[in-house]
Amino acid sequence: MILLHHLRIGRSIFTVWQLEELAIDYELKVYHRHPETFRAPDDLRLAHPLGKSPVIEDGGLVLSESGAITSYLLEKFDTENQFSPARSDLVAWGEFTQWLHYPEGSVFAPLLIKMLQMRSGQAHEALEKFSSNEIKLHFQHIAEKLDDREFILGGRFSAADFGITYVISLAKRLGQLDDYPSLEAYLGRNLSRPAYVRALERGVE
Amino acid sequence: MILLHHLRIGRSIFTVWQLEELAIDYELKVYHRHPETFRAPDDLRLAHPLGKSPVIEDGGLVLSESGAITSYLLEKFDTENQFSPARSDLVAWGEFTQWLHYPEGSVFAPLLIKMLQMRSGQAHEALEKFSSNEIKLHFQHIAEKLDDREFILGGRFSAADFGITYVISLAKRLGQLDDYPSLEAYLGRNLSRPAYVRALERGVE
């Protein structure tokens, strides 16, 4: 059975959601952040040397990186391609794969910089300029893609929506979503899916 | 034929290297950074709305994200699994996929923060602490993995080494590699591969 090392609060709720969408049997091992420093507890390092979450275990395999976990779960459990294009359609699969890498590969870093500055209460001119410009670039790009689409690949929800939903939800937490009502609507659409509601019931006590 | 939009100087030389390792026919369209601001030229946006590099085109498909480009090239051209485990070996393939996501998904952000601070000449206490701690965490992790391995997956070079080589080379440029002689050695091993030497000949005029 899949075991998910699940750190409250953080991105691993999005992995719980995936497990629910894929209707996989799974166990959660829950970790709590330090109430003051907000840091992950040290015992997460027993699960994976980097001490980050999400991490899944499947038999002897221990896997980190959200996008890699998504790919692994699809490969093992989504054998009928409900959540991603078949690889035989190489163009559609390539585009899917691009959207799978994009949230962590491009969108997360400027949000992280914004978050670290906000938390510290100290601004930094060059970093502030960089993060604001990049956040604008990426969320405009996502909004343009979603202009005539219900989900990031088109009319059908796919596993590429997990990561996009994650970075949009993080942007919302950081107060960066005011100019993007269509992204708010997309977020609401995804977070009201029955599988996400079940994820909250199991993953957020 | 694959067309690579190749920005000098940046990470797309690592995509040229991949094309050379895979012995694929390709064309390069070369872009130059502004000599003073070091910014990418606006005409990169004609290739892809984000205006970043690398971007490849293959027929009508336009693909960004280094890791996604790697996956696409493997899927189309590495049909005999010279550069990645076969998906039928799901554990090995899962680990490979984790290492494929890891450079951009986890290692790049703290290096970027370090670079932006260095370029600006202005430090920021919280960001400096974050980037230094994370750089140490990740490069110790990579060094531990490479302790008894020639390449990141073991004795054989794989496509997971492209991204790991990229972040190590960036760390070196930022002066962050002094404590890691084994990573220097790994970098030298990879950058002396004939395919990388050919990439430099075509990609760096």
Rounded to the nearest angstrom, the minimum Cα separation between B66 and chain A is 8
Separation of alpha carbons B205 and B203, rounded Å: 6
Walk along chain A (205 residues) and give the pLDDT tens digit of each residue.
Answer: 999 999 998 999 999 999 999 999 999 999 999 998 888 999 999 999 999 999 999 999 999 999 999 999 999 999 999 999 999 999 999 999 999 999 999 999 999 999 999 999 999 999 999 999 999 999 999 999 999 899 999 999 999 999 999 999 999 999 999 999 999 999 999 999 999 999 999 999 7
The pLDDT of residue B148: 86
The pLDDT mean for chain B works out to 96
Separation of alpha carbons B10 and B20, rounded Å: 17
- Looking at the complex, does the CB of residue A90 fall below 8 Å from at least one CB of chain B? yes
Nearest CB among B105, B117, B141 relative to A65 is that of: B105
Separation of alpha carbons A204 and A141, rounded Å: 31
Q: Looking at residue A65, what DSSP letter applies?
A: -
Band the pLDDT of B37: cuts 50, 70, 90.
confident
φ/ψ (deg, to 5) at B154: 140, -135
Contacting B residues, span 12-31, partner chain A, CB-CB under 8 Å: none
The pLDDT of residue B9: 87
- Looking at the complex, does the CB of residue B176 fall below 8 Å from at least one CB of chain A? no
Name the token pair of B170: 């960036």
Q: A90-193 is classed in which CATH architecture? A: Up-down Bundle (1.20)
Contact criterion met (CB < 8 Å) for A49 and B141: yes
Separation of alpha carbons B46 and B55, rounded Å: 11
Query: ∠B182-B186-B190 over CA atoms, to 5°?
Result: 170
CA-nearest residue to A122 within chain B is B124
The pLDDT of residue B205: 75
Rounded to the nearest angstrom, the minimum Cα separation between A116 and chain B is 7
Mean pLDDT across the stretch B22-37?
95
Contact status, residue B188 vs residue B152, Cβ threshold 8 Å: no
User: Which of B97, B112, B132, B133 to mutate to probe the A interface, most A CBs <10 Å?
Assistant: B97
**B95 pLDDT exceeds 80?**
yes
Same CATH topology for B2-82+195-203 and B90-193?
A: no
CATH fit for domain B2-82+195-203, picks 3.40.50.1820, 3.40.30.10, 3.40.50.1580, 3.30.70.260: 3.40.30.10
Using one digit for the tens of pLDDT, what is the confidence trace for B157-205?
999 999 999 999 999 999 999 999 999 999 999 999 999 999 999 999 7
CA-nearest residue to A133 within chain B is B50
The pLDDT of residue B57: 98
Instruction: Render A72-122 in DSSP notation, one character per residue.
Output: HHHHHH-TT-SSS--TTSHHHHHHHHHHHHHIIIIIHHHHHHHHHHHHHT-
Contact criterion met (CB < 8 Å) for A101 and B68: yes
Separation of alpha carbons A121 and A108, rounded Å: 20
The pLDDT of residue A183: 98
Which chain A residues are Cβ-neighbours of B98 within 8 angstroms?
63-65, 68
Contacting B residues, span 106-145, partner chain A, CB-CB under 8 Å: 106, 108-109, 112-113, 116-117, 119-120, 122, 124-127, 130, 137-138, 141, 144
Contact status, residue B67 vs residue A101, Cβ threshold 8 Å: yes
Residues in chain A: 205
Domain residue ranges of chain A, discontinuous segments joined by +? 2-82+195-203, 90-193
Separation of alpha carbons A124 and A130, rounded Å: 10
Contact status, residue B41 vs residue B32, Cβ threshold 8 Å: yes
Contact criterion met (CB < 8 Å) for A60 and B91: yes
Contact criterion met (CB < 8 Å) for B59 and A117: no
| Partners of A27 in beta bridges | A3
Contacting B residues, span 45-74, partner chain A, CB-CB under 8 Å: 49-52, 58-61, 63-68, 71-72
The pLDDT of residue A38: 85
The pLDDT of residue B38: 84
Using one digit for the tens of pLDDT, what is the confidence trace for B129-155?
999 999 999 999 999 999 989 999 999
φ/ψ (deg, to 5) at B161: -75, -20
The pLDDT of residue A148: 86
Instruction: For residue B9, say if its preceding peptide bond is cis, omega within 30 degrees of 0.
Output: yes
Rounded to the nearest angstrom, the minimum Cα separation between B92 and chain A is 9
Contact criterion met (CB < 8 Å) for A138 and B50: yes
**B69 pLDDT exceeds 90?**
yes
Burial class (CB in 10 A: 0-12, 13-18, 19+), B8: middle
Nearest CB among A61, A95, A120 relative to B91 is that of: A61
Contact criterion met (CB < 8 Å) for B144 and A49: yes
